[in-house]
Amino acid sequence: MVTPALPPPAIVAPEPGPSVSAALTDANVRVTSAFSGAQIVLYGAVFDPETRPSDVVVIVRGPDQPIRIARKVRVAGLWVNSRPVVFEGAPGFYMAASSRPLTEIASFSTLRRLGAGIDHLPMNAPEEERIETRYGVRDVVVSRLGGDYLEWRRAVIRLKEKANLYATDHDGVRFVDRGLFRAEIDLPTSAPIGEYQTEIILFQDGEAVSRRARTITVEKAGLERWLFLFANERPWLYGIVSVIIALTSGWLASVVFRRR
Amino acid sequence: MDIYLPIAEVSVNAGVLVLLGAVVGFISGLFGIGGGFLMTPILLWMGIPPVVAVASEANHVAASSASSVISYSRKRQVDFRMGGVLAAGGAVGALVGVEVFRWLRLLGQADLVVSLSYLIFLGLIGGLMLVESVGSVLRQRRGQAPPKRRDRRPVWLYGLPLKVRFPRSRLYISVIPPIILGIFVGILSAIMGVGGGFILVPAMVYILRMPAGVVVGTSLFQIIITTSLASILQAGRNQSVDIVLATLLLLGGVLGAQFGARASSRFRAEELRALLGLIVLIMGLQMGLVLFITPEDPFILVGSGK
């Protein structure tokens, strides 16, 4: 069967006004036993009939993971953990790369509205909150952490940055040619499994004028996947198998050595 | 060669793990202990999450103990009946211990309890062993006779009900003290990721008054049962046994244990005990140190609520 000759793909006329386009070198990261992190390159282009100054912001957001954080307190001369605080709504991985510092690209309220930048991550500690009436105002959300809330939040970000799971890169988006840019996404070994939402935003004059979304999937593959599923779906059988392996190898070693 | 562990979700060097397993296995065969008290802290320092380290180490201890217990049993140095009674207590202890560990993790206090247990138990036992064995080595050097062992058998050991004969240990005592001892060691093995030999061996000598010849073999036998059970429970309840990690460790471990058992005949018992006491003491202090040092960062992530 002969496929009818398709007309050459029409060059799509750029939409009126500026727009941004982007692609990933690898949208599917396979976590196998050789996995030691991954680097994904995102490249894209800014289409603009006029040459207005453009800024590009790339935001990568991994799957949400509740974060449990404790503070070290000194009790009777010993450093012990306080009761842990659970933060929800925080991603397991977050990266904000931009062509200039975010604060120079757009105003605080614009960034907050877009959730762009680590300072604008909507994470909170619902278990610490209660709703009460204050000064006659009903339904006021009060956090038990009180004024320390910001300190706890900053600690979450600091510890995640130390683990290479959160990153802010003020010149992570580089224009390599007129309108052509690239950014690198570094996933550490500890990057969580799941879907990563990548958003590419074009800013002009402090306003987001065009947005593109891409998805990265990080999944366990091969033997890693099989073992992980086995451990989680048939946990008791998995435990018994691991003990059988242990006892058999111990017994084998002693038999082999006795023969010598 | 770096390898990504499916449950621990970290990447570690496989060769280093096999080598570590072999070294700890050698020490385990040399002293007739499981070696968990050495391996678990090393795994923690390598960045393995505590939950996975403790659970996978129980599996490794079972393997290296199985490797050395067979040679003890050939020499008729295992009191299976006493081991069985201890293990019955150990089973109850492991059940309780796994649940306690789960609860501590939810409270975010697992790290604290692990460090504190290491500091207290290893520090105490290591210190006592060191003092006792150095004393006896010195006495031997000076040509003094060893002090007479107080052979007066404690009333509480014999006054309790449910007496059972243990022919191989030449004992006729109540099963209550060994069961309580077993429970205690079972809890520790689930919380600290150790077999508990370093507690069992002195307790069998000084509390149960068992003959020295059967102590190590019997302790290893009970450790196999307790750690196997702890391992199955950790896998079933917490999904925290990393089979790849455990297999890498036991590859080196079972071989190291055989070489260690052979090397042990070249040393004097007191010298071995002094060396073991020193290792145990250092490990306990090292793990406990974190409780006294002002932390670099006052905050700590305590793992996901998995």
CA distance A169 to B133: 59
Condensed to tens digits (0 to 9), the pLDDT of residues B125-178 reads 888 888 888 888 888 888 776 666 555 566 666 667 777 777 777 777 778 888
Residue closest to B188 by CA, chosen among B89, B106, B65, B64: B89
Closest Cα of chain B to A64: distance in Å?
11
> Closest Cα partner for B230 from B129, B110, B25, B91?
B91
Give the max Cα distance, chain A.
87
Q: Is A149 on the interface with B (CB under 8 A)?
A: no
Q: Which of B254, B300, B302 shows the shortest C-beta gap to A250?
A: B254
Where do the domains of chain B lie?
A: 2-142+153-289
Cβ neighbours of residue B245 closer than 8 Å, sequence gap 6 or more = B5, B7, B8, B12, B17, B43, B48, B52, B56
Set of chain B residues whose Cβ sits within 8 Å of the Cβ of A220:
6
How far is B177 from chain A, CA to nearest CA, in Å?
A: 28
Q: Quote ipTM for the complex.
A: 0.82
Query: Distance (Å, rounded) from C-alpha B141 to C-alpha B83?
Result: 36
Tens-digit pLDDT profile for residues A201-260: 999 888 888 899 999 999 888 888 899 889 889 999 999 999 999 999 888 888 887 765
Give the span between the Cα atoms of B49 and A186, in whole angstroms.
22
User: Nearest residue on chain A to B293, judged by CA atoms?
Assistant: A79
pLDDT in tens, B29-85: 887 777 888 888 889 888 888 888 888 988 888 888 888 888 778 878 788 888 888
Q: Quick check: B288 and B114 in contact, CB under 8 A?
A: no
Q: Is B291–A80 a contact, with Cβ atoms under 8 angstroms apart?
A: yes
- The β-bridge relationship of strands A207-220 and A28-31 is parallel
User: In terms of CA atoms, which chain B residue is nearest residue A242?
Assistant: B243
* Chain B residues closer than 8 Å to A187 by CB: none
Render each residue's pLDDT in chain A as its tens digit; 260 residues.
445 555 555 555 555 678 888 888 888 888 888 888 889 999 999 988 777 888 899 999 999 888 888 888 888 888 888 878 888 888 889 999 999 898 888 888 888 888 888 888 877 776 666 666 666 666 665 566 666 778 888 888 899 998 889 998 888 899 988 889 999 999 988 888 899 999 999 998 888 888 999 999 998 888 888 998 898 899 999 999 999 999 998 888 888 877 65
